[in-house]
């Protein structure tokens, strides 16, 4: 067996394709960050999200066309009416999850409203700072889902689809592997803890479920974006250890870190798992009601059309 090249599919094996894409992402996003910072010096969070977006989209476009031999749309990016509807549903359930967390902590006296964002002293005007946070979280939700769910899960599932595992087993291992990578990618965030990393791994699994069931990233992107934005720019919590540019509510938090997550935010607390459970439940309910079926999406069963044409040509 050739360890580098899959002669049947006439392309590199999945592990090498994933490695090349990740190296490209690292270098492209790095150069994009240097270029942007040389042109625009600001503390707004949007400047950190733009290079990551460029690196993700450019590296995946290259990998899709030249390594994977399929269109980028195959990674759950159709942008049709159903995709928009899925995105809106994700925004609803992600917002509801954070709202429930805040309501519980407020009722228990773990958090109080200390003030409002527009009355606080910040480097930029409140509308500009809020728009920056909104845009940054929208980009983060998109490019992290495209990378960690869309690109990585599909390729790993293809690479692991051995007869002993089957497609479902391959998809399960791919989901667990990419979710662990997603969690460890947050290991250098401010105020991180082992609990935070574990919870983010769980979040990775929760965000993967919509993609596995629908073959689309619409619901996953909506969940990810709204969880981050409502958490950080509505209720004023830290988002994975980082404060966003502005928030509508300025909270004062004094609850136990085990439950609230402390300075890392709800993602590091037990109450964050409740929010993830709400998002998972919402995903299952929405998917069942809109598609009438809870099963692995056809995307993970069918063979890449470009691969089939290569096989026929040979």
pLDDT attached to residue 292:
72
**What pLDDT, on the 0 to 100 scale, is given for residue 123?**
77
The SS3 assignment for 12 reads: strand
Q: How far apart are CA 135 and CA 246, in angstroms?
A: 12
Count H helices, E strands: the chain?
11, 4
The per-residue pLDDT for 304 is 60
- Give pLDDT, residue 10: 86
Alpha carbon distance 197, 275 (integer Å): 16
Q: How far is CA 208 from CA 144, 150, 153, 221, in A?
A: 11, 9, 8, 10
CA distances to 122, 232, 244, 248 from 117, rounded to whole Å, are 9, 11, 11, 5
pLDDT under 50: residue ranges of the chain: 313
Tokens of 301: 């069963």
- Angle among Cα 64, 65, 70 to the nearest 5 degrees reads 65
* Residue where the block lists tokens 């159903």: 82
What is the rounded distance in angstroms from the CA atom of residue 33 to the CA atom of residue 187?
21
Write down the pLDDT at residue 305. 54
pLDDT for residue 206: 98
Torsion of CA 182, 212, 224, 44, to 10 degrees: 60
**Each residue's pLDDT tens digit, 76-90:** 999 999 999 999 999
CB–CB of 240/268 below 8 Å?
A: no
pTM of the model: 0.93
Q: In which residue are the tokens 């200390």 written?
A: 114
């Amino acid at each position: 067996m050739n360890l580098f090249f899959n002669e049947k599919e006439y392309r590199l094996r999945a592990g090498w394709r994933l490695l090349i894409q990740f190296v490209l992402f690292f270098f492209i996003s790095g150069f994009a960050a240097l270029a942007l910072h040389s042109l625009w010096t600001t503390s707004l969070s949007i400047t950190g999200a733009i290079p990551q977006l460029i690196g993700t989209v450019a590296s995946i476009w290259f990998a899709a066309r030249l390594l994977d031999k399929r269109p980028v749309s195959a990674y759950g990016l159709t942008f049709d009416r159903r995709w928009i509807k899925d995105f809106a549903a994700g925004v609803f359930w992600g917002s509801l999850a954070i709202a429930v967390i805040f309501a519980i902590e407020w009722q228990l006296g773990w958090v109080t409203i200390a003030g409002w964002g527009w009355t606080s002293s910040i480097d930029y005007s409140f509308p500009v700072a809020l728009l920056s946070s909104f845009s940054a979280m929208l980009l983060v939700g998109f490019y992290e889902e495209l990378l960690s769910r869309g690109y990585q899960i599909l390729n790993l599932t293809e690479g692991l689809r051995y007869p002993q595992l089957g497609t479902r087993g391959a998809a399960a291992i791919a989901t667990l592997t990419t979710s662990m990578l997603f969690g460890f990618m947050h290991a250098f965030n401010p105020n991180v803890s082992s609990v935070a990393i574990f919870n983010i791994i769980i979040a990775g699994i929760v965000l993967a479920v919509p993609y596995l069931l629908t073959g689309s990233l619409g619901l996953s992107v909506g969940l990810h974006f709204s969880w981050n934005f409502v958490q950080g720019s509505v209720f004023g919590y830290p988002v994975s250890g980082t404060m966003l540019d502005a928030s509508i509510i300025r909270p004062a938090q004094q609850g136990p870190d085990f439950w609230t997550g402390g300075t890392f935010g709800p993602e590091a607390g037990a109450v964050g798992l409740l929010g993830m459970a709400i998002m998972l439940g919402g995903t299952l309910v929405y998917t069942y009601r809109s598609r009438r079926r809870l099963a692995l999406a056809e995307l993970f069963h069918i063979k890449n059309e470009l691969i089939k044409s290569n096989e026929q040509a040979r």
